[in-house]
Amino acid sequence: MTANRLGYCALAFTLLLLLTCRCALQAQVRPPVKTQIVLLGTGTPLPDPERSGPATAIVVNGTPYLVDFGTGIVRRAAAARNKGVTGLEPTNLKIGFITHLHSDHTLGFPDVLLTPWIMGRKEPLEVYGPAGTRDMAEHILKAYATDVKTRTEGLEHSNKTGYEVNVHEIKPGVVYKGQNVTVKAFSVDHGNLEAYGYRFETPNRTVVISGDTRPAPAILENCQGCDVLIHEVYTEASFALVSDEWKKYRLAYHTSSKRLAEIASKAKPGLLILYHRANPGCDQARTNDCRDAGSEEQLLKEMHQYYKGNVVAGHDLEIY
């Protein structure tokens, strides 16, 4: 064998070795499945500048699944992207699940339908929700017909597909199954509204979200040791301050700290995240007593009194 041929052989062998090593290395460093919960809005109908309307993103391997479209949803998604959750790039917002049709949970519907499209999303929005969601979507498109016409036919040259919406009106059961996640809807008890909670099963986490509900057995049945339970709540101290009429409303529509503690003690989530903390109308009453009774401090005090598990009060743009 000549020296030249020997040199080629050595080179080929080295290259082969390098390739083999690289493949092995790639297999080792393949990123693990990642499920992030991003709180986009933890508020209520109250126009609190610190708390956008109810909206949560479950981001699995970079794909976001939205729950509810509260006010400010797309701007909060952009803020989360700026914090490093690249999956929440607004043009990536393509799938959403609505818990019920109260306005605080749907005021961001036109935003999530139109803003990502204006930014370049080409795919229609896929929306899962109760009966009436299709009507709402059709009316939103009618309301914005002038905008859609101008943007698609005028000099903005927007695409003709990304403003469309495919609505799936759901019943309890598995409503979505994809590579990243299986989503199950279950009925909750929110006055006389058709309302759902959702259970997300990803390859590495199970997340249950209540939407709005009075204490509902379905939460217990669907969590059962889930990794994270995200649940709405009001304080007992604020309940004591509201009128008899509003007491009736709260009992029929929402869940107190004490009742949530009972549910969570049985459901045993790895982490309980509190959101949609009801306000006792303090903007109208304007008294410190009222504000204190419904405050986050009071809420956590009550929760710790009744519940021994891991619990946090959620804030906008927190990532779990």
Q: Summarize as ranges the residues that interact with Zn ion (CB under 5 A).
A: 102, 104, 212
Which of 106, 158 has the CB closer to Zn ion?
Answer: 106
Which of 255, 298 has the CB closer to Zn ion?
Answer: 255
Q: How far is the CB of 106 from Zn ion (least distance, A)?
A: 10
Q: How far is the CB of 30 from Zn ion (least distance, A)?
A: 40
Which has the closest alpha carbon to 254: 213, 293, 218? 213
Which of 189, 201 has the CB closer to Zn ion?
Answer: 189
Which of 227, 316 has the CB closer to Zn ion?
Answer: 316
Inter-residue contact 258 to 234 (CB < 8 Å): no
Q: How far is the CB of 273 from Zn ion (least distance, A)?
A: 16
Q: How far is the CB of 150 from Zn ion (least distance, A)?
A: 33
Which of 189, 212 has the CB closer to Zn ion?
Answer: 212
Cα separation of 282 and 291, whole Å?
6
The side-by-side arrangement of strands in the sheet containing 165-169 is 35-41, 55-60, 63-67, 95-97, 125-129, 165-169
Cα separations in angstroms, 313 against 54, 173, 288, 309:
14, 29, 21, 13
Count the alpha carbons within 13 Å of 209 in the hemisphere toward its beta carbon.
29
Inter-residue contact 55 to 108 (CB < 8 Å): yes
Please report where in the chains the tokens 């809420």 appear, as a residue.
299
Q: How far is the CB of 114 from Zn ion (least distance, A)?
A: 23
